Chain A
Amino acid sequence: MIRRRFPWLSYLVVVIGAVLTVVPFLDMVMTSFKGAGEAGTLPYRFLPEAFDLSNYRAAMDQLDLPVLFRNSVVATAVITGSVLLTSSLAGYALAKLRFPGRNLIFRLVLSTMMFPPFLFFIPHFLILVHWPLAGGNDLFGRGGAGLTVSIAALALPFLVNGFGIFLMRQFMVSIPDEVLEAARIDGAGEFAVWWRIVVPQTRPVVLTLALLTFVHAWNEYIWALLISTANPDVMTLPVGIQFLQDYVDPTRTMPIVMAGLVLSVLPVLIPFLLLQKYYIRGVMLSGLK
């Protein structure tokens, strides 16, 4: 209660800040309803003359939205599923099993968070180009385009996440060993202990990690851009919309681009708003981005 001084000033600051945060989104939505020649002309007007839905149809016509959606959904689903599975398995081994090399592997996991992503763009691309026996390559990775032309290329570099393993391990350490030991004495194997006891107990952290991974994977731009430049068939939603904006006359297509952006933002915004407390907890835990 002592903290609550000058509430009016606080309200003023927070509301002004919130307006500055939300207005660009409103401008995006408003522009997506504007008619031809109505956007980007002087004087600026915030509201559209009429709420014109044709931009959404045009966005769907100019972009192969079903394909873009499919690529985005497949890549995001594969990445999220894989990160959850590998983080849970590795986290369990590092938290609850004893084996030689445990500390070394844990340090390796921690160090992965230190390397910046841009260090890997070139080698990852070249590794995919030279992937053996894929895309026309021979056993030594020569001759073809490798995995760069496959949808797998969108997901491969993101299948394991050091931070995910770290998060899982930290959470699993707090599960009492007695519970696991009791299950082992009852004859459960390690896999059963992990699946029947550890996984159910880690549900909140699984949800947090799932949301974090989902949002990052869906919004990934640079790597997806690289891969789609090699093969337009695996273009994702963000890349497709940027492509539209780059190659068509901006004054005419701005409302169409904005309509496309609204469509690309909604699939993340809805789960975020529904589950924001888990996502926010995840970001607080990680200090991410």
Chain B
Amino acid sequence: MVNALTTATTERAAPRTRSAGPAIDGRARARRRQAVVAYLFLAPTLLFFAVFLILPLGFALLLSMSRWSGFDLGGIQPVGTDNFRGLFADGSTFLAPILTNTLLFALGTLVLSLAGSVVVATCIDNLRFQGLWRTLYFLPIVTTVVAVGNVWKYMYEPGGLVNGVLNALGLGSVAFLQDPDTALPSVVVVQAWASVGSAILVLTAGLKSIPESYYEAAALDGAGPVTVFWKITLPLLRPSLLLVCVTQLISGLQSFALIIVMTKGGPGDATNVAALEMYRQAFSYGHWGPASAAAFVLFVVVLLITLVQLWIFRRKGEDA
């Protein structure tokens, strides 16, 4: 922008020496015109933000401190922090199992998909036809959650693929989604399976940025592949690992579409997570207040975990 202005000034220098006044007026007018045009270009966006971002945020905050379950705006009753206290009251299922499930779901997904993607991404980096492999691993990402959830739900059935493999190995069938002990891990596996592809992409970009000369130097020093992986690849991959950790954990804490499709939170509350509970409170029971309060609590949890992650990675970066 600065460049454009200086260019403009030099090109218009000649007329301005003759009459300084009108030229400055002209420049001010041009700038004003540019501002008007800019706001015209931004008008749809700003209008959208006003109606679908700022108004809803205020509305959600108001709802979280009100009792209201109908659609008549006149019926909103302010109740202060009652909704928030209700979430943490004795006998409330919000902390346990729901919020605990949310954390287990997000952490489990992150660990599985991170381990899988680091191994596969480093291996792909050694191979030919890298684009082909990456495209294959990417298929679950472009597939609707309804397809992913239903296929896996069917595969977990007694007559499905997973139990078929177990039976062929001489093992008994497992009631993956019906048993409260196995339901959450079973859904975690699917979420991790679906998100490995995008983690591979981010890590691949990181691997490509590691200079070949580091590997050559390590080879000259006689370092084995395991040493190379721990001492060179992993430390230099830290920025990409951070990105994967933050984005996967955030999306893990927020997601519930897969759970709606596969278990609807059951059996009991075994796979119920905060976003699903919020959705149910709001749209099954019409409890707008508690649901909005739950949404804000989850938002704060997500924000805190993200900040802690960034802080840990930054501190480690300084130590290294």
Contacts and interface: CB of A to CB of B under 8 A. Distances in A.
Interface of A: 2-7, 9-11, 13-14, 17-18, 20-25, 27-28, 31, 39-46, 85-86, 89-90, 92-94, 96-100, 102, 105, 108-109, 112, 115-127, 129-130, 141-142, 156-157, 159-160, 165, 177-178, 180-181, 185, 189-191, 194, 215, 218-219, 221-222, 225-226, 229, 237-239, 241-242, 245, 254, 257-258, 261, 264-265, 268-269, 272-273, 276-277, 279-280, 283-284, 287-289
25 contacts: A3-B126, A5-B126, A10-B124, A14-B133, A25-B151, A44-B165, A86-B48, A90-B42, A93-B42, A97-B34, A99-B39, A112-B49, A116-B298, A117-B254, A119-B295, A121-B283, A122-B60, A181-B4, A221-B144, A222-B279, A245-B150, A261-B151, A264-B144, A268-B144, A283-B198
A248 B201 CA distance: 39
B242 to A, nearest CB: 10
Contacts of B140: 21
A268 B144 CA distance: 9
Given A44-B160, A142-B73, A268-B142, A89 B45 contact: yes
B63 A123 contact: yes
Q: Which of A108, A254, A261, A272 has the most CB of B within 10 A?
A: A261
B7 A27 contact: no
Contact of A92 (B41, B146, B283): B41
A186 to B, nearest CB: 12
Size bracket, chain B contacts: 35 or more
B55 A127 contact: yes
Given A122-B292, A156-B52, A268-B142, A178 B127 contact: no
A116 B139 contact: no
A127 B51 contact: yes
Determine which residue in A31, A125, A129, A284 has the highest number of CB atoms from chain B within 10 A of its CB, and name it: A284
A126 B59 contact: yes
A25 to B, nearest CB: 6
A99 B34 CA distance: 7
B146 A221 contact: yes
Chain B residues touching A, majority SS: helix
Contacts of A6: 126, 225
Given A165-B45, A222-B260, 7 more contacts: A45-B164, A118-B295, A121-B278, A124-B56, A127-B56, A142-B73, A284-B201
Interface in B133-149: 133-148
Nearest to A120: B56
Interface of B: 1, 3-5, 7-8, 11, 31, 34-35, 37-39, 41-42, 44-46, 48-49, 51-53, 55-57, 59-60, 63, 71-73, 116, 119-120, 123-127, 131, 133-148, 150-152, 154-155, 157-161, 163-165, 167, 193, 195-198, 201-202, 204-205, 212, 215-216, 219, 225, 243-244, 247, 250-251, 254, 256-257, 260-261, 275, 278-279, 282-283, 288, 291-292, 295-296, 298-299, 302
A122 B291 contact: yes
Contacts of B44: 85-86, 89-90, 160
Nearest to A27: B161
A237 B31 CA distance: 49
Contacts of A116: 250, 254, 298-299, 302
